[in-house]
Chain A
């Protein structure tokens, strides 16, 4: 792949479409971003108070640390990274087979199960589209 994913207009567009789809399925979604492994934002669903660039760097650090812990404990490859806080959950997971991470913030209006299920489905759909037409 010659173009970095975050600079590839096709990836940005399909990422955006899937994030919008995720919001439609999950009303508790507050913020979502697709980012590269090394912390560049591909696309996000806008929420003006969040510094998207900074958040993408932080999410990539968190992903790398989670994966390092899973390796260290030998519990297999990561599924989700979850930060559960008082007013919301951050759910994060790798887009399977790609150097991309989906990171999403949900409020408490719906359950954690909903957050996990919609994040997983969205990540799988993105992976499928990328695999079908590289």
Chain B
């Protein structure tokens, strides 16, 4: 069985823990602590180390899912988890202040993952605020990082269908790159 390791990255409140819980077939290992920053993001708990889950896609692909803590003060965890991953689903919540810039910020933070593997960007909470729209993110991405081809989707991390679709898109992306790189190596 092929094994993949995927990271869920993005700011606090984007839905990373939710996404891992939606996808995981095993009980998720989570590290939630009482959130003392309710004024910044109003949720009762926050991830302080990682989320870990697993899913088997079809017969063939076992995927290990790691969710990072969103806050920058846990960036030592980002370093640890980034090293393990082949690819990343970057979640950005539409109602975040300056969400377009935040997307670029996290993309840059994890740039080795789009170089090494693949990235899919998921915009969450588009039901909470209507703008920006997904096209705005694609445009911002094209402008800030021309030449970078990354799918941008509107998704709900609570929806198993959305999450599977995003995950499959990422796995296909990774596998295509692997094939492409193998072919390139052959022709040399």
Answer yes or no: A and B touching, Cβ < 8 Å. Answer: yes
Q: CA of A37 to CA of B69 in the docked complex: distance in angstroms?
A: 13
A52-65 vs B, CB cutoff 8 Å, 1 = contact: the mask equals 01100110111111
Q: Which of B33-87 contact A (CB under 8 A)?
A: 33-37, 46, 48-50, 69, 71, 73-74, 76-77
With contact pairs A57-B76, A58-B76 given, residues A64 and B36 touching in the complex (Cβ less than 8 Å): no
Name the residue on A nearest B27 (C-beta). Answer: A72
A62–B69 Cα distance when bound, in Å, is 13
A40 at the interface (CB under 8 A from B): yes
- A1-19 contacts to B, CB under 8 A, are 4-6
Chain A residues with CB below 8 A from B29, complex form = 68, 72
Interface residue tally for chain B (C-beta within 8 Å): 19
Q: Are A38 and B31 neighbours in the complex by a CB distance under 8 Å?
A: no
Does B30 touch A at the CB level, under 8 Å? Answer: yes
Contact A61 B49 (CB under 8 A): yes
For window 61-83 of A, CB contacts with B under 8 Å fall at 61-65, 67-68, 72
Contact for A57 among B36, B37, B74, CB less than 8 A: B74
* Nearest CB in chain B to that of A56: its residue: B73
In whole angstroms, how far apart are the Cα atoms of A57 and B29 in the complex? 19
B33 touches A37 (CB 8 A): yes
Given contacts A60-B48, A61-B48, A64-B49, contact A39 B30 (CB under 8 A): no
Give A67 to B48 CA distance when docked, in angstroms: 12
Number of A-B contacts (CB under 8 A): 60
> Is A21 part of the contact surface with B, judged by Cβ < 8 Å?
no
Contact check: which of B31, B34, B35 meets A61 at CB < 8 Å? B31
A36 at the interface (CB under 8 A from B): yes
CB <8 Å contact, A6 and B36: yes
- What's the least CB distance linking A33 to chain B, in Å? 14
Name the distance in Å between B31's Cβ and chain A's nearest Cβ: 3
Point out the residues of chain B lying under 8 angstroms from A64, CB to CB: 31-33, 48-49
Min CB gap A95→B, angstroms = 13
Are A38 and B76 in touch, CB under 8 angstroms?
no
Given the complex of chains A and B, what is the CA–CA distance between A38 and B73 in angstroms? 10
The answer to whether residues A39 and B74 also contact, given A61-B48, A64-B48, A65-B49 and a CB cut-off of 8 A, is yes
* Closest-CB distance, A8 to chain B (whole angstroms): 10
Q: Is the CB of B49 within 8 A of A38?
A: no
- Residues from chain A with a CB closer than 8 A to the CB of B34 are 36-38, 99
CB distance from A122 to the nearest CB of B (A): 21
- A residues sitting closer than 8 Å to B (CB atoms) are 4-6, 36-40, 53-54, 57-58, 60-65, 67-68, 72, 99
10 contacts between A and B (CB under 8 A): A4-B36, A4-B37, A36-B33, A37-B33, A38-B34, A39-B48, A61-B31, A62-B49, A65-B49, A68-B49
